[in-house]
Amino acid sequence: MTKYILAFDQGTTSSRSIIFDRNGNIVTVAQKEITQIFPQPGWVEHDADEIWSSQIGVANEALARISLKTSDIAAIGISNQRETTIIWDRKTGKPLYNAIVWQDRRTAADCDELKASGYETIFQHKAGLVIDAYFSGTKLKWLLDHIPNARSQAERGELAFGTVDSWLIWKLTQGELHITDVTNASRTLLFNIHTQQWDDELLSILDIPRYLLPQVQSSSQVYGYTSEGLFGSRIPIAGIAGDQQAATFGQVSLQSGMAKNTYGTGCFIVLNTGNKLTLSNHKLLTTIAWRINGRTDYALEGSIFIAGAVVQWLRDGLGIIKHSAEVESLAGSVPNNGGVYFVPAFVGLGAPYWDSYARGTIMGLSRGSTSGHIARAALESIAYQTADVIDAMRQDSQLDLFELRVDGGASGNDLLMQFQADILGVPIVRPKITETTALGAAYLAGLAVGYWESEAEITSQWQAEKWFEPTISHDHRLTLLDSWHQAIAQTRHR
């Protein structure tokens, strides 16, 4: 009988379940938004119980939509919002506090103290990360320091910590499994990416008891089975990856030098560096891409804070478009940017600048500038920021990028994708299936249970929907980039 793979795609704004067939095609999708909780400025939380209830709810909804029995599901793969931190009671399974979301900035001052104490080099060399409130380690420390009795409970081994993948698997197995995979572990500030173990020195610096931590597993293996009665029959849980690593795997960027960019509110660019662990000189993140059959692939990652959000600002802040989809036609109403450059540093600049004090700037305005020029400059800013990260990746890795695979909402904008190809000087490739995060989780699970035989088989399934080839000269590209970097220099905090 034909079987399917069930992918959990637990994201920041919603929980989704997608069922895939043997050809990697989507059979059905179910989705439910989750509540965003903002207790104070800069704080972002989720209800961990709602994460679970929404995710199991959409899984059952997806199965019901096409009348599948659980015996029709070969395995479950899980992709999750990374860095989001949950702590719960091992005996009752109840969270002690809301999940602290990756976007949360409450530990920024703690991170400043760690940097002032000279710990930056230790964390970069061991964890591959910059010290930032983005990651799980300081969030976990905050929970232990602020929940009454939590630290003493943790030291007695009564509590469990996990990122969202760990929490879902705990619930799926009714506490039988307390695990994570290497991709999620590598985003905690607590994991040594060289030894692939929790690191005693990093745990000591952050004062985290080892008893809290999940067991770290590969990204593709049979970890265990869903508990009796949850779905009707037990289903293998066989794949785990944080969302950006899952998307990279779903894009089948499996060789060193292959890269993907997800164009969402921000951008997440991941470059596969193969078995070479490359520490960055440009404040990029070194992370584990995945571990499969004992082989670990590494990656460099760069995050851009404002990408699609600049289009939302054109709509909501400036009011020059009514709907986000209108930006392409408005930007296309002019042949070029007319000398206008837009640096959308609304919340500072991310990689490779990491300037939290920079603020947005529009430069080069003249009496001839129109809303079309501003819209075009806004779209081009997404491509320029991507080019800056890719250039840093090239310098750090000494790898030549031969194409960039793209996904996310803004990847559907042909004008942006063509300009991205022009400014990078390499082809941009948009796949037929853009649900790459869920697809990556499905592939990881399917490989573990033999649903797909090999990485070569899934590579053969990947299909391009459209290619965008560079159309401008090398000299023209350098001239444009020089003007962009002048705009960046004017934007930077002095």
Q: Measuring CA to CA, which residue among 172, 7, 1 is closest to residue 72?
A: 1
- DSSP H helical segments within 66-181, as ranges? 108-116, 120-127, 136-146, 150-155, 164-172
Dist. CA 129–CA 107, nearest whole Å: 16
Give me the helix-helix angle, 120-127 and 108-116, nearest 10°: 100
14 annotated ligand binder:
yes
Burial 193-205 (b: 16+ CB within 10 A, else e): beeeebbeebbeb
12 annotated ligand binder:
yes
Dist. CA 292–CA 239, nearest whole Å: 10
Q: Measuring CA to CA, which residue among 300, 298, 308 is closest to residue 267?
A: 308
User: How far is residue 466 from each of residues 122, 427, 433, measured CA to CA in Å?
Assistant: 43, 10, 11
Q: Measuring CA to CA, which residue among 272, 221, 265, 279 is closest to residue 249?
A: 272
486 annotated ligand binder:
no
Bridge pairing between strands 404-407 and 259-263 = parallel
16 annotated ligand binder:
yes
- Residue 456: Cβ within 10 Å count: 9
Burial 380-407 (b: 16+ CB within 10 A, else e): bbbbbbbbbbbebbbebbebebebbbbb
Q: Which two tokens stand for residue 383?
A: 């491509």
Task: Look at residue 164 and give its three-state secondary structure.
Answer: helix
413 annotated ligand binder:
yes
Phi, psi of 335, deg, nearest 5? -75, -20
Q: Which two tokens stand for residue 70?
A: 């659980």
**Residue 30 near residue 58 (C-beta atoms within 8 A):** yes
Say which residues have a Cβ less than 8 Å from residue 12's Cβ, sequence separation at least 6: 81, 84, 101, 102, 103
248 annotated ligand binder:
no
Q: Cis link prior to 352 (omega < 30° from 0)?
A: yes
Task: Look at residue 14 and give its three-state secondary structure.
Answer: strand
251 annotated ligand binder:
no
**Residue 17 near residue 30 (C-beta atoms within 8 A):** yes
**Residue 17 near residue 8 (C-beta atoms within 8 A):** yes
* Residue listed under structure tokens 């439910």: 32
82 annotated ligand binder:
yes
103 annotated ligand binder:
no
* Residue listed under structure tokens 């080019």: 387
DSSP H/E element including 57: helix 48-65
DSSP class of residue 179 equals E
265 annotated ligand binder:
yes
Going by the annotation, the residues of the binding site for ATP are 12-14, 265, 308, 312, 409
Binding region for ADP: 12, 16, 265, 308, 409, 413
Question: What residues are designated binding site for glycerol?
Answer: 82-83, 134, 243-244
Which residues carry a binding-site annotation for sn-glycerol 3-phosphate?
Answer: 12, 82-83, 134, 243
Residues marked as binding?
Answer: 12-14, 16, 82-83, 134, 243-244, 265, 308, 312, 409, 413
